[in-house]
Structure 1
Amino acid sequence: MNAFDTAAGCGARLRQAREAAGLTLEAVGQQLHMPVQVVKSLEEEQWQRLGAPVFVRGQLRSYARLLKVDIGEILEQSHIGPIVPPQLVSHTHTPRARRIAESLGRRVLYVGITAVLAVPVWFATRGHFDGTANTPNTASLDVIPAAVPVAGGDTPPAPAPATAESAKPSAPSAPYLASLTPVPRPAAAPAAVGGGLTLQFNGDSWIDITAPDGTTVEKALLKSGETRSFAPGQVARMVLGNASAVEVQQGGTIVDLSPYQRANVARFTVSSDGSVAPVSH
């Protein structure tokens, strides 16, 4: 049996009250803002045409208030149905397998991004974490290790007799790297004739030397140990790179390059008698 069937009696009572009040279906519909067909369905108790029970109850109560009829007891005893809130059904439900796959995909993406960022950093910094076994030793060139015999000097002492301890193979020592400390040379380069200039290079340096007529006398990169000599009047201007590793002599006297030096590059002019002066701007 339909749940609306037990509410019989409400429609007939409302129709009787309407007729007693002298109202037509159209008049009731206008006052309740209902279509005439809905008012007629309420009186004829055709609940199936009116929708959900919650709407039927509301329309019956509105009709009863208009006619000042009490139908509360009849509604309570009826089985029109309780007012149940509508159930919300998700139309975007994601299956569990898909959720798991998306979660794993995000994790794999995070791992991939981390690897892309971390691997280059690890390769760039791995040298700082290597052992010290292969770390080269450094020593100044003016300090000769005791294990290396001095060429042309006294005869080194004879090796000690071999013992059980000395017979054991020793770990290979790391190579020595030369420091940047300049090594004093046993003999100075020959001085230029008269008041000329002599350049002695104790380290790699680049030079740009210009003649009085503006032509280039020499422009090159010179290695440590090389020397250059220039007669008076041969040079008008000099530019020396890595000037701290270049010793300049004028007539056998060392020239102080600090007044002409900036950022380890010395720039100065040379007069016809070989004297040095700052570059005029």
Structure 2
Amino acid sequence: MKPISEGLAGQQASAGAWLRNARQQRGLHIAALAVMLKVPQAKLEALEADRWDDLPDATFARALATAVCRALKADPGPVLALLPRTHEREFDVRQGLNQPFREHGSPSDGRSLARLARPVVWGPLLLLGAAAAVYWIPAGWLPEHQAAEATTAASTASGTVTAASAPVDFVPAPLAAASAVPLPLVSAQLAASAPAPAPPPAPAPEASAPLQVRDVPPPPAATVPTAAAPAGQALRITASADTWVEVVDARGQALLSRLLRSGEQQDLAGMAPYKLR
């Protein structure tokens, strides 16, 4: 194969014809050259046909022609001389921007002071300063606050004492009443009458529900002597006040175990002697 002569470019009418003739001398198909250069075949056809409008721009055409010459192992200089040159744009800056330049940090600029005077800026700063002052202020500088706390504590303590003393004022009253009221009466047929235990205090009012007397353990019940009653005779118990009564006969059977209201009577039948609790 004959090498491509350097004067071939001067004999060709255009750069595209020179590239096509060089490729044909190498025996290389245009499709194979497109695969070798990894460019579309249509771009190579437009380059060889001098259709510059089908190419993106003159820079792309010159770069593609240089790549073809390297693939064909030819000098790209004569071909580039036949290609259209790119028109370099020149920036005209002789007139300048024609705008005054001002530094933002200059003392003559009052914009920074105007920004600081806005409530959006100094409002949060003022709140932060007040919060820091309240947090770091010594406790001794607030006598009024301490007096208010002392008053609150005293009122709370007095309220607690009153609430605690409520059962103390309430409990002795039923006990005194119970001591004044006679014990439950036993029927006349009994040999001895057994005194009933002191009645528990009445339920507390609804306002003092948490301090009801039923939550307080009842006082220990007094031991009631055994009522000596003839065997087979009935026992009648009359409650003069609200009281809890338990009656057990000689066989150990519980005949009664409940709360009797004031004035309530209860007849029992069992084996004497009876035990009242």
Report the TM-score when normalising by structure 2: 0.31
Question: Higher Cα Rg: structure 1 or 2?
Answer: 2
Higher helix share: 2
Report the TM-score when normalising by structure 1: 0.31
